[in-house]
């Protein structure tokens, strides 16, 4: 009886796909899939997010992929899905990230039907900690919503999907529109110019939706939704007092303040987090215990069930699409003969290994930041298109996602979610 043996893996070489065993698929996006992988030497499980280069180039998303790769290298936080490895082969770019099998918050919101205030409050504290960290790193996420918040097996919340995240400019407000429209701040949809404060608005919309299973501002068309975000009064359901405390309502109201200078979390010079920590709704939080993940989550996912859409595995089983396989790279590729986009990926989607590579910042010039907070009631501040030398992602206005589906945005720029 014959038997096949795979070649021994050289763990001293640059990290590549041969360092991992491939397990089940747990997510799907426009350019590829997310699957569970196991590092052959450490035996640790990770999430492998892989992106088909040809599809990525066809949809003009190369800049976004490189931007995401670079931003993820800068980030390391307990409530963020962190990058552990990055590499590529001839067909795909790979992100190896922290594995989150507890499901995203969209999945739990849709499957449970009701989330209690104490559960949402716990997640809110963890997410606030992560947002403050990102803003200190000069990063705006720009797409915070239930779909992009995933739980680990113990129930801790983590921000994921940095596909449209950017460094905010140290001098000018940004004007490019990116993210999912229902969660966009007024200064984004109103094209008034914005900075990191937009994440706190999205945070408020997310909390509102988790509590009441609907969003405060909505519309069937982009025009109606824009008008709602800019002008509609903030209303709470008639039974809001049965679902949450008055302090919770005040917290959400303070986040959904159209005047940026008065929005909770948006005080200049980094003092906004103090306002969040001192707010009556979160006063009981022990932030030191929280940040070391010693606080006990009030909701623990049922790990005996799949906390994600199980149809992702069927695609490969039914041969709907080509399965991922290990493949050796072509030796000594000639950069000069490559198409510009292929060469850009080759040169800029560099190898990262958290065991040996020191994290670095790609922030332009690494200059000190001047925080810009403008009053929406005044149009006296001239807004100039940001020129912070970051790769500016393309618009990704997205509609509401379907329950349990990690394919989050419905436009051409639909991108990959983390595993649920």
Task: Using CB atoms within 10 Å of the CB of residue 4, give its burial: 0 to 12 exposed, 13 to 18 middle, 19+ buried.
Answer: exposed
Cβ atoms 109, 213 nearer than 8 A: yes
Q: Give how far Cα 410 sits from Cα of 89, 106, 397, 398, 406, Å.
A: 28, 16, 8, 6, 11
Has 49 been labeled as part of a binding site? yes
Beta bridge partners of 22: 37
Nearest CA-CA partner of 107 in 79, 148, 147: 147
Backbone angles phi, psi at 103, to 5 degrees: 95, 155
Q: At 24, is the secondary structure helix, strand, or coil?
A: strand
Element (DSSP H or E) covering residue 250: helix 246-255
Nearest CA-CA partner of 207 in 156, 146, 250, 257: 146
Instruction: State the SS3 of 53-88.
Output: HHHHHHCCCHHHHHHHHHHHHHCCCCCECCEEEEEE
Nearest CA-CA partner of 323 in 19, 13, 7, 50: 50
Task: Decide if 275 is catalytic.
Answer: no
In the set 143, 147, 161, 409, the catalytic residue is 143
Contacts of 319 (CB under 8 A, 6+ apart): none
Two tokens at 342?
């292929």
Two tokens at 366?
């690494």
Rg over CA atoms, the chain: 22
Distance separating alpha carbons of residues 16 and 26, to the nearest angstrom: 21
Nearest CA-CA partner of 30 in 413, 381, 418, 307: 413
Nearest CA-CA partner of 49 in 111, 78, 92: 92
Cβ atoms 309, 404 nearer than 8 A: yes
Cα-based torsion angle of the residue sequence 111, 115, 121, 125 in order, rounded to the nearest 10 degrees? 0
Residues making up the annotated binding site are: 49
Residues making up the annotated binding site for ATP are: 49
Residues with catalytic annotation? 143
């Amino acid at each position: 009886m014959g038997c096949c043996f795979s070649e021994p893996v050289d763990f001293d070489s640059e990290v590549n796909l041969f360092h991992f065993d491939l397990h089940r698929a747990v997510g799907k996006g426009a350019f590829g899939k997310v699957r569970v992988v196991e590092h052959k030497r450490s035996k640790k499980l990770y999430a492998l997010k892989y992106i088909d280069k040809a599809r990525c180039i066809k949809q003009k998303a190369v800049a976004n992929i490189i931007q995401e790769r670079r931003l993820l290298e800068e980030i390391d936080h307990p409530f963020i899905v962190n990058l552990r490895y990055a590499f590529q082969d001839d067909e795909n770019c790979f992100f190896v990230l922290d594995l989150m099998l507890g499901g995203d918050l969209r999945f739990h919101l849709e499957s449970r039907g009701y989330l209690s205030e104490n559960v949402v409050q716990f997640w809110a504290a963890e997410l606030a900690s992560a947002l403050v960290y990102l803003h200190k790193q000069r990063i705006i996420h720009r797409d915070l919503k239930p779909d992009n918040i995933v739980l680990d097996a113990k129930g801790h919340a983590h921000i994921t999907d940095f596909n449209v995240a950017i460094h905010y400019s140290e001098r000018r407000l940004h004007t490019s529109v990116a993210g999912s429209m229902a969660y966009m701040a007024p200064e984004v949809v109103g094209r008034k110019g914005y900075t990191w404060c937009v994440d706190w608005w999205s945070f408020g919309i997310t909390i509102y939706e988790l509590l009441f299973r609907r969003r405060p501002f909505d519309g069937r068309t982009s025009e109606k939704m824009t008008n709602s975000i800019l002008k509609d009064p903030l209303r709470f359901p008639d039974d809001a007092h049965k679902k949450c405390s008055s302090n919770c309502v005040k917290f959400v109201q303070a986040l959904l303040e159209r005047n940026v200078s008065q929005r909770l979390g948006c005080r200049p010079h980094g003092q906004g987090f103090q306002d969040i920590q001192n707010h009556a709704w979160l006063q009981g939080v022990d932030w030191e215990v929280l940040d070391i993940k010693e606080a006990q989550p009030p909701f623990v996912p049922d790990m005996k069930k799949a906390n994600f859409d199980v149809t992702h595995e069927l695609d490969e089983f039914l041969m709907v699409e080509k399965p991922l396989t290990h493949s050796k790279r072509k030796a000594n590729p000639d950069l000069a003969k490559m198409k510009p986009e292929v060469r850009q990926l080759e040169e800029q989607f560099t190898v990262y290994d958290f065991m040996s590579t020191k994290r670095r910042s790609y922030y332009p010039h690494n200059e000190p930041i001047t925080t810009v907070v403008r009053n929406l009631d005044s149009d006296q501040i001239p807004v100039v298109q940001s020129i912070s030398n970051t790769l500016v992602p393309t618009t990704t206005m997205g509609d509401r996602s379907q329950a349990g589906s990690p394919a989050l945005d419905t436009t051409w720029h639909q991108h990959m979610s983390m595993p649920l």
